[in-house]
Amino acid sequence: MYLKRIVLALIILSSLNSYGQKTGKLSISPDGRYFTQANGDPFFLLGDTGWLLFGKLNREEAARYLDNRKQKGFNMIQVMVLHSLNVVNAYGDSALINKNVATPKTTLGASFSDTVQYDYWDHVDYIVNLAEERGLYMGMVPVWGSNVKSGWVSQQEGATYAKWLANRYKDKSNIVWLNGGDIKGSDSMNTWKAIGTNLRATDPNHLITFHPFGRTTSSEWFHTEPWLDFNMFQSGHKSYDLDTAAAEHKFGPDNYKFVLMDYAKTPIKPTLDGEPSYEEIPYGLHDTTKPRWNDNDVRRYGYWSVFAGGAGYTYGHNAVMQMRKPGETGAAYGSRFYWSDAIDHPGAGQLQYLKKLMLSKPYFDRVPDQSLVAGKQGEKYQYIAATRGKDYAFVYSYTGRNFEVNLGKTGGSKVKASWYNPRNGTSQPIGRFDNKGTKQFDPPGVEKEGNDWVLVLEK
**Which residues make up the CATH 2.60.40 domain(s) of the chain?**
369-458
What is the distance between the alpha carbons of residues 90 and 53, in angstroms, rounded to a whole number? 10
Res 243: pLDDT: 79
- Residues contacting 22, CB < 8 A, separation 6+: 132, 133, 134, 135
Res 11: pLDDT: 42
Edge-to-edge strand ranges of the sheet holding 373-374: 373-374, 403-406, 438-441
Res 400: pLDDT: 98
What is the distance between the alpha carbons of residues 347 and 333, in angstroms, rounded to a whole number? 18
Res 245: pLDDT: 58
Question: Is CATH 3.20.20.80 correct for 2-359?
Answer: yes
**Which residues make up the CATH 3.20.20.80 domain(s) of the chain?**
2-359
Query: Which stretches of the chain drop beneath a pLDDT of 70?
Result: 1-21, 108-116, 244-250
* C-alpha count within 13 angstroms, C-beta hemisphere, residue 295: 17
Please state which CATH class domain 369-458 belongs to: mainly beta
Res 330: pLDDT: 83
What is the distance between the alpha carbons of residues 431 and 415, in angstroms, rounded to a whole number? 8
Which is nearest to 51 in space by CA: 401, 356, 372, 314? 314
| 88 DSSP assignment | B
Q: Which helix (H) or strand (E) holds 429?
A: strand 427-434
Which is nearest to 128 in space by CA: 68, 84, 161, 81? 81
Which is nearest to 28 in space by CA: 17, 38, 15, 14? 38
Instruction: Report helix, strand or coil for 323.
Output: coil
Per residue in 59-105, pLDDT (tens digit) is: 999 999 999 999 999 999 999 999 999 999 999 999 999 999 999 99
The predicted model scores a pTM of 0.94
What is the distance between the alpha carbons of residues 56 and 68, in angstroms, rounded to a whole number? 17
